[in-house]
Amino acid sequence: MCAEHPHEWPDLSPMKVGIRGLCPRCGKGKIFRGFLTLEKQCSVCGLKFSFADPADGPAFFVMCIGCIPAAALACWIEVAYGPPFWVHLVTSLPAILLTCIPPLRPIKGWLVASQYYHKAEEGRLVFADK
């Protein structure tokens, strides 16, 4: 919050505050209660997070960025070497888990912050009165 204008909020980058899990309005409060569970509102500025609905967005980005290359690595190891099952347990499984789980929270935070920044909301049909 700006000291000289108490009701004006700084213009924060969704990428900077979102990936750190900070409030998109004040940049100080936390947006997560659990690993992926959103708080009801910011403890610092009081922004209600009811506007936030990233739905399957985080999972989609994680699949495209992390899961597909990790699964391709597992397939390549299998086709190229035909290793025993335990080799996949020590190579493919960690690769898939490390590229899929850790990025979920920062990506969800970025999407929530982007929704606030761009004032995204559910679409509505508007009918012209005749």
* pLDDT digits 0-9 by tens, 94-116: 999 999 999 999 999 999 999 99
Give the residue numbers spanning the domain of 24.
14-117
74 within a domain of the structure (yes/no): yes
10 pLDDT band (50/70/90 cuts)? confident
3 pLDDT band (50/70/90 cuts)? very low
58 within a domain of the structure (yes/no): yes
102 within a domain of the structure (yes/no): yes
* pLDDT digits 0-9 by tens, 28-61: 999 999 999 999 999 999 999 999 889 999 999 9
Q: What is the 3-state secondary structure (H, E, C) of 95-130?
A: HHHHHHCCCHHHHHHHHHHHHHHCCCCCCCCCCCCC
- When divided into structural domains, the chain yields a total of 1
8 within a domain of the structure (yes/no): no
